[in-house]
A and B are shown apart, each in its own frame.
Chain A
Amino acid sequence: GAGVSQSPSNKVTEKGKDVELRCDPISGHTALYWYRQRLGQGLEFLIYFQGNSAPDKSGLPSDRFSAERTGESVSTLTIQRTQQEDSAVYLCASSLGGFYNEQFFGPGTRLTVL
């Protein structure tokens, strides 16, 4: 079956522009996560969706970052007024939800802000 897919795979933008990153989770997975991976560093949690519950936004670094999820399917991460420090790989993961279930990661979107 298909894994987690993300688009675009690469995005180059100019400072100050808005960008949208898309994640298609594994079908049937109720939980969806966004993480950020800066060059040479570990992943940082950004936001977590579980079913119809209010998302856990505790990892979002600023109000320029937001995310939405349509039901239990596609999610979009939006970064407004991009800054150079936003350059990173943005990874999406999905899981069956609940507790202790494996998170399956997509290949990521590499964002470069010039």
Chain B
Amino acid sequence: QQQVKQSPQSLIVQKGGISIINCAYENTAFDYFPWYQQFPGKGPALLIAIRPDVSEKKEGRFTISFNKSAKQFSLHIMDSQPGDSATYFCAASRRGNKLVFGAGTILRVKS
């Protein structure tokens, strides 16, 4: 019940395209859903986060869509750029503390 399932495992997108990464969770007590971006040799950095009181949150080219009834959430990267090439992790937690992470998606944006 603590798992967060993330897909796809890897993704190749053309420059300017839309990158979409999906996650599903099981624990209905989770109320905080962040996305992290990680470059090789670095720690993860928070990209954007959502609480279940809204169905969508947008920050620049990054949008989280949240479906509470389906227990799913997704990250959309609009106008994807080569600099977006990184590993993306979704996570979930209750109250923002002990994060449960998905397995990660390796994104490559081709120029």
A29 to chain B, nearest CB (A): 13
Task: Tell me how many residues of B have a C-beta within 8 Å of chain A.
Answer: 25
Residues of B within 8 A of A12 (CB): none
**Which of A43, A45, A50, A93 neighbours the largest number of chain B CB atoms within 10 Å of its CB?**
A43
Interface residues of A in 59-114 (CB under 8 A from B): 59, 91, 93, 95, 99-108
Interface residues of A in 5-51 (CB under 8 A from B): 31, 33, 35, 40-45, 48, 50
Residues of B within 8 A of A42 (CB): 4, 6, 89, 101-104
Select one of B45, B98, B104 contacting A48, CB under 8 A: B98
Q: Is B82 an interface residue (CB 8 A)?
A: no
With known contacts A106-B43, A107-B42, A100–B95 Cβ distance under 8 A? yes
Q: Is the CB of A59 within 8 A of B98?
A: yes
Given A33-B98, A43-B89, 7 other A-B residues pairs in contact with their CB atoms under 8 A: A42-B6, A42-B89, A42-B102, A43-B101, A58-B98, A105-B44, A107-B42
Task: Report A's interface with B, CB cutoff 8 A.
Answer: 4, 31, 33, 35, 40-45, 48, 50, 56, 58-59, 91, 93, 95, 99-108
Pick 17 A–B contacts, CB within 8 A, sort by A.
Answer: A31-B97, A40-B103, A40-B104, A42-B101, A50-B97, A58-B98, A91-B43, A93-B43, A99-B95, A99-B97, A101-B96, A103-B96, A103-B99, A104-B46, A105-B36, A107-B43, A108-B43
